[in-house]
Structures are given as structure tokens and as C-alpha cells.
Amino acid sequence: MSHRISAIILAAGKSQRMGQPKMVLPWEETTVLGQVIKVFSEAGIRNLFIVTGGDREKVEHEISRLNNNFPIKPVYNPDHEKSGMLSSILAGLNAIPKDVEAVLIGLGDQPQVEIATVDNILDLFYQKRRGIIIPSYNHRRGHPILLDSAMVQELKTFNPEYTLRDFLDSHQGEISYIPAGISVLHDLDTPQDYEKYRGKNKPD
């Protein structure tokens, strides 16, 4: 895979509903965050940026541990407490190389993400080389989401008072959807989510 596709993995949440730092919870042979990084890396992405915020010390300690096996870099979002997801995305976008062809935006608390989904997103991008690519299940948008370089530059100037959904809605005609399993819709917010989905990273 091209080294000119970077990935941003969002891991800046405070895990309030989980009651403990969810990124470092055990998952299969690694952790929740480690599983997401493993899948992205196995899909061939060589530039991975992990956006931290809440539980920064523990999350960055986990990143340091995982860095022995994967090419990952932490990016701290100082606005994580007062702003939403878009501020973490922007923090990541400002850290990636300037010459990227595209950026994949994933969730650090989505360890169910399947390598087939990431592969399909990248394959479609290599065919089209432009636009936005989103996995969907039953016509519902999921993650991870890929933006080409032009979309990345536009998102950097997008009004920070809005959301990623607002940005996507403003570019409906430039979105390509790929069918995916239900796992693209699920992340881990609560202990119940964790127990339900733990160890179920299998094709739907």
C-alpha cells in the first residue's frame, strides 16, 4: 500500500460512560486501541497518528508500548474537553504529512473494525483517487472514513462550530459508499458494549 495514505485514530475521549480508560482495556491479544492500530497497519497504512486527550498519560503510555511494533505517533488535542470530535480530527490533520493522497479517519474505540472493510475502502480509493469513501450498513454511515487530499484541505478550514456530519452532508455528491458489516456502526461506550462486543471481531 502507498505510504502517502495516512490514518488518524481518534482516542481523545474521557471514557466517562465506560468508567475507566477504554483505550487500554484488554482486547484479544492486545488492547482496544492496539486492535484498531493492528488492523490499520495490516491493511498497509504506514503513517498512523493517534489523537489523545482524556486519559492522556495512560493512552500515550499504551502508544509508546505499541510503538515497538507499529509506526504510530501521538498527537495531543488540547481542546478535547471543550470541543467535539471535529477538533480531534483537525488536530490529527494538522500533524499529517503535507503530501498525503488521502487520510483515513478511524475510531480508537472500534476494535471490531475488520481488515476487509479497510482494504475495500483503500481499494476503491486507488480506483477513484478522489472524493470521500464511507462504509455503510443498511444505509447508515459507519467508520472508518476516507477523505482525499482536497477534502482534507477543505475540512481544515471548515467552521469548527460544526461537526464532521455537517461536513459530509455538504458533500453528498462526492461520497462513495461501500457495503460493510454492522461492525462499522459500533464503538465501545459502556461496560455493556465492551462485554457484548469483546472478542467478536469477526465478519458479519
| pLDDT single digits (tens) 95-113 | 999 899 999 999 999 999 9
Sign of the torsion formed by the C-alpha atoms of 180, 185, 191 and 196:
negative
Average pLDDT, the chain: 92
The answer, yes or no, to whether residue 140 has pLDDT greater than 50, is yes
Give residue 14's pLDDT: 85
Give residue 141's pLDDT: 97
What is the distance in angstroms between the CA of the first residue and the CA of the last residue of the chain? 25
Q: How far apart are CA 45 and CA 160, in angstroms?
A: 27
Give residue 204's pLDDT: 41
More confident residue, 93 or 2: 93
How many Cα atoms are found within 13 Å in the side-chain-facing hemisphere of 132? Answer: 24
Give residue 200's pLDDT: 60
More confident residue, 69 or 186: 186
Q: How many CB atoms lie within 10 A of CB 127?
A: 8
Q: How far apart are CA 52 and CA 172, in angstroms?
A: 29
List CB contacts of 61: < 8 A, sequence separation 6 or more.
Answer: none
How many Cα atoms are found within 13 Å in the side-chain-facing hemisphere of 104? Answer: 34
- pTM for the whole thing? 0.92
- Please compute the mean of the pLDDT values over residues 60-82 and round it to a whole number: 91
The answer, yes or no, to whether residue 3 has pLDDT greater than 80, is no
- Please compute the mean of the pLDDT values over residues 13-30 and round it to a whole number: 92
Give residue 160's pLDDT: 78
- Please compute the mean of the pLDDT values over residues 84-91 and round it to a whole number: 91
Cα distances from 150 to residues 94, 129, 130, 155, in angstroms, run 14, 11, 8, 9
The SS3 assignment for 11 reads: strand
Q: How far apart are CA 145 and CA 133, in angstroms?
A: 6
**CB-based burial label for 130 (10 Å; 0-12, 13-18, 19+):** middle
